[in-house]
C-alpha cells in the first residue's frame, strides 16, 4: 500500500495536473494507492476537481489549516499501513504505476525509507535529474537535504516512531523530521528510478536565504555536528547562493 498525500490551497489547475499523473486521463485508480488530498479551505474550484475524479480520491479534507506541516500531519492520520508519499499540487509522477513498481520489492515493516530520483524542472522548462546515490550515508544530511521528499517513500512505522511534522517549520519540515531521527537513522534504500517531476516555484522558491536560516536552526536544534561546523556550512551555502544569484544577474 502506498498512501499519497497532496496538500493544496487555491491551486485547482495544478492539483488536476497532479491527479492526472496519478490516475491517468481515464481516471483509473491503481489498486495499491490510498490517495489523500488535504485542502486548506480553497475558494477556487478545488472541490469540483476532486468531485470529477469520483472514487479515485479516497479522502478529501477541506478546512483551514496552520500550514503545510499541519496539512501533512492530517494526511498521515488518514494513512493505511504501508508507505507514505508526499507530492505538491502541480508536481507529477513520471507515470501512474511508478510508486507501485518502486515499493513492490520491499516491506514497510523492515525497509523504512526508499528514495528514488527526481527530475527538477526549472521555471524556464529545463529539467535536471537528481544524482543517484547508490550508497547513501546519513552524514550527507548535515550538508543538504539529500533525500528530496518528491522521491522519498516513508514507512508509516517511521512516523509512529518519530512523530509527525514540526509546525514551527515553514519550509523544511521534511528535513527536520529526518534530522530528528539522525541518532538512530534507518537504512535508506536508494532506487535508480526517476519517480517524479518537481516543478520549481513552490513555497520555498525565491526565499533561499530564509530556507538556509531554517536549515541552520534545525541542524543546531538536533546537534548533528559541532556548532562551529554547522555555522561554517551555513556560511558556505549562503555564499554559494549569493554567487549564483550574482552570476544570474551578470554581475560576476
pLDDT digits (tens, 9 = 90+) for 111-165: 999 999 999 888 677 778 887 788 899 999 999 999 989 999 999 999 999 999 9
Domain that holds residue 94: 2-206
Tell me how many domains the chain contains: 2
Residue 172 has pLDDT above 90, yes or no: yes
Q: Looking at residue 123, what is its pLDDT?
A: 67
Q: Looking at residue 25, what is its pLDDT?
A: 85
If you average pLDDT over every residue of the chain, what do you get?
92
Q: Which helix (H) or strand (E) holds 231?
A: helix 227-248
Q: Are residues 127 and 184 in the same domain?
A: yes
Q: Are residues 176 and 245 in the same domain?
A: no
Q: Are residues 240 and 135 in the same domain?
A: no
Bridge partners, 189 (sequence order): 114
Per-residue pLDDT tens over the stretch 26-55: 888 888 999 999 999 999 999 999 999 989
Q: Looking at residue 49, what is its pLDDT?
A: 95
Q: Are residues 188 and 72 in the same domain?
A: yes
23-27, 86-90, 161-165, 179-183: least confident range: 23-27
Residue 148 has a CB neighbour count (10 Å cut-off) of 19
Pairing relation of β-strands 188-199 and 113-121?
A: parallel
Q: Looking at residue 252, what is its pLDDT?
A: 54
Provide the sign of the torsion angle of the four alpha carbons 20, 24, 27, 29, taken in this order: negative
Q: Looking at residue 129, what is its pLDDT?
A: 85
Q: Looking at residue 251, what is its pLDDT?
A: 60
Q: Average pLDDT, stretch 211-231?
A: 97
Q: Are residues 49 and 170 in the same domain?
A: yes
Q: Are residues 142 and 159 in the same domain?
A: yes
Class of residue 95 by CB neighbours under 10 A (exposed 0-12, middle 13-18, buried 19+)? middle
Percentage of residues in the chain with pLDDT exceeding 90? 79
Q: Are residues 197 and 214 in the same domain?
A: no
Q: Average pLDDT, stretch 176-201?
A: 94
Q: Are residues 186 and 163 in the same domain?
A: yes
Bridge partners, 121 (sequence order): 127, 199
Q: Are residues 93 and 183 in the same domain?
A: yes
Q: Looking at residue 204, what is its pLDDT?
A: 47
Q: Are residues 194 and 242 in the same domain?
A: no
Pairing relation of β-strands 152-155 and 113-121?
A: antiparallel
Q: Are residues 69 and 166 in the same domain?
A: yes
Q: Are residues 125 and 228 in the same domain?
A: no
Backbone angles phi and psi of 39, in degrees to 5: -105, 135
Residue 180 sits in a domain whose CATH number is 3.90.550.10
Class of residue 88 by CB neighbours under 10 A (exposed 0-12, middle 13-18, buried 19+)? buried
Residue 206 has pLDDT above 80, yes or no: no
Amino acid at each position: 500500500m502506498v498512501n499519497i498525500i497532496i496538500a493544496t490551497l487555491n491551486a485547482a489547475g495544478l492539483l488536476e495536473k497532479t491527479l492526472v499523473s496519478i490516475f491517468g486521463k481515464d481516471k483509473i485508480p491503481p489498486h495499491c494507492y490510498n490517495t489523500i488530498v488535504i485542502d486548506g479551505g480553497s475558494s477556487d474550484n478545488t472541490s469540483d476537481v476532486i468531485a470529477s475524479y469520483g472514487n479515485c480520491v479516497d479522502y478529501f479534507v477541506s478546512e483551514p489549516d496552520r500550514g503545510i506541516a499541519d496539512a501533512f500531519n492530517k494526511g498521515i492520520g488518514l494513512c493505511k499501513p504501508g508507505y507514505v508519499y508526499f507530492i505538491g499540487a502541480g508536481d507529477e509522477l513520471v507515470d501512474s504505476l511508478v510508486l507501485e513498481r518502486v515499493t513492490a520489492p520491499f516491506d514497510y515493516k523492515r525497509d523504512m525509507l526508499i528514495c528514488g530520483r527526481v527530475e527538477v524542472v526549472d521555471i524556464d522548462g529545463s529539467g535536471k535529474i537528481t544524482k543517484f546515490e547508490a550508497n547513501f550515508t546519513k552524514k550527507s544530511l548535515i550538508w543538504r537535504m539529500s533525500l528530496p521528499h518528491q522521491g522519498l517513500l516513508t514507512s508509516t512505522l517511521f512516523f509512529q516512531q518519530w512523530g509527525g511534522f514540526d509546525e514551527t517549520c515553514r519550509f523544511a519540515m521534511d528535513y527536520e523530521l529526518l534530522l530528528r531521527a539522525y541518532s538512530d537513522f534507518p537504512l535508506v534504500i536508494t532506487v535508480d528510478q526517476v519517480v517524479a517531476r518537481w516543478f520549481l516555484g513552490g513555497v520555498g522558491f525565491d526565499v533561499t536565504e530564509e530556507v538556509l536560516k531554517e536549515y541552520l536552526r534545525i541542524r543546531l536544534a538536533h546537534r548533528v555536528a559541532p556548532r562551529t561546523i554547522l555555522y561554517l556550512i551555513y556560511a558556505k551555502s549562503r555564499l554559494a547562493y549569493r554567487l549564483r544569484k550574482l552570476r544570474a544577474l551578470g554581475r560576476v
